Structure 1
Amino acid sequence: MTGAVDWHSEIAAEFDARYEVSPAFRERLDVWAALIDTYGGADSDVLDAGCGSGVMASVAAHKVKSVLGVDASPQMIGLARQRCKLLDNADFKVGMLGDRDVATDQTFDVVLCSSVLEYVDDLDGALGWLAAKLKPGGTLLVSMPNGASLYRKVERLAFKLTGRPRYYAHVRHTPMAVDFQSRLEDRGLTVCETRHCAGPAVLRKLLGSHRGSNLFVVAATRKAPDQ
């Protein structure tokens, strides 16, 4: 995952700006904000694992008790701290997802993980780490590139032929939603819902959201002791 961290460090400011100029990124943000509204609350402690420039953490901090954002890129953490400098309930630390010294002995009501897991080498290990950070009854909100998407299939072919888009060199996982849901269930989580988003409007109109959308976001809850 080190290559992916270096790549995102290089493009940190450009990536952050996409939430202002890209319709797909704006749609993604709207979906995440709605999910945070649904599964977070005023008393919730939230971990944003792979927080990037702090966009999702900022949204959450306006709605919940506390937010801890963790990212392996110092450049991204710098942007996140700047974005949330007026929010006294948001804290940010440099750290790699899966590190034992990240949020040691802490568990959370909600864990966010947006556009991170496609880059990790050990997907099952990362999911286990995220699940362990949940309080009983807590919810993981996690996104992945949609393996059923026609756009993703064309993107993969284009990279094989041309080496572009360059970021694809760091992508390790583009799962089908149903397969990813099974991985979550294997880690003791119960899938609550899956939302598809982003992607060319014409493809979604022709193919439907499951094959026309570039991303999916899953909400999955850790069982409480009495369940």
Structure 2
Amino acid sequence: MNAIEFHNAIATDFHNRYEVSKAFQERFEVWTRLFERYVAPTNRVMDMGCGSGVFSNYLAGKGCIVTGIDGSEAMINLCNQAKTVPTAQFVKQLLPLDNADSYQKQDVIIASSVLEYLNDMSAMLQQAQSLLKPGGLVMVSMPNKRSIYRRIERLAFQLTGYPRYFAHIRNVSSETLLSQQLHKLGFETLGVVYFSSGDPLSKSLKNVLPDYYVNSLFVGVYRKLKR
């Protein structure tokens, strides 16, 4: 089973977690706060690895013109089922795109928890840079390599084979490493938010360690410099 087959199998459960999981609800709250701060209703947005379309449909409802792209057919079906406005369109396609030139330049590109699954993360970041207008934003979230929880999770997978999704992880990063990659591609950092510290271990460490050791995810907002 590859990463796309895995996400086809879990698509409905993944989508439903936004209703029942505190961690997914926190993710939604963190991202939508950033959308309200950085994304204008007139923006053209590409959601790379859009999953079940929660963020794409949220932004389309805000007035954005949104293209959601995912390699999972089951996820794209869920996107279309939840679609309520015509300014969102969803495309089943692998990342990085093999036809990037056919898309208009974007104001914002979202990559929420997708880069870790790609065989060539660097190519995806380069493509995002080429798809953005000068001054455009890329908003990226990834598992936080520095978190204590992630280190234990990696060891648990090596010993037990769980959590299952870990079999499909190809890239790990920290905010520092990701920012360095994006700065080399001509971006500047606008802001970084660490989140997801609800597991018992992270809760116990929250008052004694910095955020980047406690929170298992981060999302960064980066602006393409005008050159």
- Secondary structure of 1:26 counterpart: helix
Instruction: Judge conservation of contact 1:118–1:144 (CA < 8 Å) in 2.
Output: yes
Aligned to 2:102: 104
Inter-partner Cα distance in structure 1 for 2:148 and 2:75: 30
Q: Structure 1 residues 62 and 157 mapped into 2: Cα distance closer, same or farther (>3 Å)?
A: same
Percent identity between matched residues is 38
Instruction: Judge conservation of contact 1:37–1:63 (CA < 8 Å) in 2.
Output: no
Opposite residue 204 of structure 2, the aligned amino acid is V
Aligned to 1:169: 167
Aligned to 2:218: 216
Aligned to 1:203: 205
Instruction: Judge conservation of contact 1:205–1:212 (CA < 8 Å) in 2.
Output: no
Q: Structure 1 residues 55 and 203 mapped into 2: Cα distance closer, same or farther (>3 Å)?
A: farther
Aligned to 1:48: 47
Aligned to 1:28: 27
Q: Structure 2 residue aligned with 1:134, among 117, 132, 135?
A: 132
Inter-partner Cα distance in structure 2 for 1:187 and 1:212: 29
1:160 aligns with 2:158: yes
Q: Structure 1 residues 89 and 105 mapped into 2: Cα distance closer, same or farther (>3 Å)?
A: closer
Inter-partner Cα distance in structure 1 for 2:101 and 2:92: 11
Opposite residue 13 of structure 1, the aligned amino acid is T
- Secondary structure of 2:102 counterpart: coil
Q: Aligned-residue CA RMSD in angstroms? A: 1.4
Aligned to 2:36: 37
Inter-partner Cα distance in structure 2 for 1:217 and 1:167: 20
Moved more, 94-103 or 122-131: 94-103
Task: Using the TM superposition, give the Cα deviation of residue 217 of structure 1 relative to its aligned residue in structure 2, in angstroms.
Answer: 0.3
Instruction: Judge conservation of contact 2:95–2:124 (CA < 8 Å) in 1.
Output: yes
Task: Using the TM superposition, give the Cα deviation of residue 103 of structure 1 relative to its aligned residue in structure 2, in angstroms.
Answer: 6.6
- Secondary structure of 1:70 counterpart: strand
- Secondary structure of 1:81 counterpart: helix
- Secondary structure of 2:207 counterpart: helix
Instruction: Judge conservation of contact 1:145–1:214 (CA < 8 Å) in 2.
Output: yes
Inter-partner Cα distance in structure 2 for 1:109 and 1:172: 28
- TM-score by length of structure 1 reads 0.94
Task: Using the TM superposition, give the Cα deviation of residue 210 of structure 1 relative to its aligned residue in structure 2, in angstroms.
Answer: 1.2
Q: Structure 1 residues 114 and 103 mapped into 2: Cα distance closer, same or farther (>3 Å)?
A: farther
- TM-score by length of structure 2 reads 0.94
- Flag structure 2 segments of 5+ consecutive residues without an equivalent: none
Aligned to 2:142: 144
Inter-partner Cα distance in structure 2 for 1:111 and 1:191: 14
- Secondary structure of 1:205 counterpart: coil
Inter-partner Cα distance in structure 2 for 1:138 and 1:89: 19
Aligned to 2:76: 77
Task: Provide Cα deviations, 1:9-61, integer angstroms capped at 9, x if missing partner.
Answer: 11000111111111111111111101111111121011001101001111211
Moved more, 136-145 or 103-112: 103-112
Where in structure 1 do 4 or more consecutive aligned residues deviate above 3 Å? none
Opposite residue 166 of structure 1, the aligned amino acid is R
Q: Structure 1 residue aligned with 2:89, among 88, 91, 96?
A: 91
Inter-partner Cα distance in structure 1 for 2:206 and 2:110: 26
Instruction: Judge conservation of contact 2:100–2:131 (CA < 8 Å) in 1.
Output: no
**Would you say how many aligned residue pairs link Structure 1 and Structure 2?**
223
Task: Provide Cα deviations, 1:163-212, integer angstroms capped at 9, x if missing partner.
Answer: 11111000112212101110111111111111101122333333232111
Instruction: Judge conservation of contact 1:46–1:64 (CA < 8 Å) in 2.
Output: no
Q: Structure 1 residues 123 and 80 mapped into 2: Cα distance closer, same or farther (>3 Å)?
A: same
Q: Structure 1 residues 82 and 175 mapped into 2: Cα distance closer, same or farther (>3 Å)?
A: same
